[in-house]
Amino acid sequence: MHARPKGTLTFTIQYQPLQSGEFRFLRVLSDEGTVLELEHAKLDSAPEYIALSYTWGPAFVRNGRAPSATYSVTLNGFMFPVEENLHDALIYLGRRVRALDCSFWVDAICINQADLNERSSQVARMRYIYEQADEVFGWLGLPCDGDKTYLAVQMMRNCRQRVDDEAKANNNQSIIVSSIKISEDDDIFPKLGTKRHEAWLGVRDVLRDRPYWERTWIYQEATGRTLAYYFCGNCYFDKRDLRATIVVSD
């Protein structure tokens, strides 16, 4: 993990200007996810890429880490500062992007934040960037309790199965599907047994308590046509699991 005492980190990377219609993407060069290289491409000829959705700033779950630490990655051979939550995202998701042999789009790194004109232009096109991505990875942060998070994801997938089964049984009539409600005592997950309550606590942590869901961009990312996967540590669920869980537990 690249972490240094606050105030000691400097970086000297020089961004190459973007040509008309170009964007920057990242190649992940290490399994740790923190050695990166910039590349330029136009979206109509871009390599397969995954767009990252996350919350800027400190991590939601700190696991004993000092709040004064400064984090960095290696970008084009230079140390480049990032916030703690993004650093966690790169560690957990960078290896997945590398394994898929895809490029990575991360706004804080791919956009030259010091160039106000570029930043304004690129931010205006972020919806397009997310829509054109092959996948969107949403980073919720580290789990508060790994066991509860695992149970929560299993519960969410079972919610989706319940909705899919009801829709199929009723010829996909959305009005019937939307009327499905599941209580904490509902036996949607028979194998869960006495851990059902813990699973619902995990769902609450993942879906209600995280600052990720309060972001300005969440609506366009969640409603876009690109399939999104949401990660809490190594556990993940997709946009269809999310929608089904909201339907049955609202």
Q: Over the stretch 103-145, which tens digit does the pLDDT of each residue have? A: 999 999 999 999 999 999 999 998 889 989 999 999 999 999 9
* CB contact set of 245 (below 8 Å; sequence gap of 6+): 155, 156, 159, 160, 203, 207
- The sign of the CA dihedral 27, 83, 210, 122 is negative
φ, ψ dihedrals at 36, nearest 5°: -130, 155
Residue 247 pLDDT: 75
Residue 94 reports pLDDT greater than 60: yes
More confident of the two residues 86 and 209: 86
- What would the DSSP string read from start to end of 191-239? GGGGGHHHHHHHHHHHHTS-GGGG-TTHHHHHHSSS-EEEEETTEEEEH
pTM, entire model: 0.86
Q: Left (φ > 0), alpha (ψ -120 to 50) or beta: where does 233 sit? A: left
Residue 64 reports pLDDT greater than 50: yes
Residue 14 reports pLDDT greater than 90: no
% of the chain with per-residue pLDDT over 70: 82
Residue 43 reports pLDDT greater than 50: yes
d(CA 1, CA 18): 31
Nearest of 109, 188, 104 to residue 154 by alpha carbon? 188
- Report residue 40's pLDDT band, with 50, 70 and 90 as the boundaries: very high
Tens-place pLDDT, residues 135-189: 999 999 999 998 999 999 988 888 888 788 777 777 765 544 445 555 555 556 5
Residue 138 pLDDT: 95
Residue 6 pLDDT: 43
Q: Taking the domains of the chain in order of start, what are their residue ranges?
A: 3-141, 146-209+238-249
- Report residue 79's pLDDT band, with 50, 70 and 90 as the boundaries: very high
Nearest of 167, 178, 155 to residue 235 by alpha carbon? 155
Residue 218 reports pLDDT greater than 80: no
Residue 192 reports pLDDT greater than 70: no
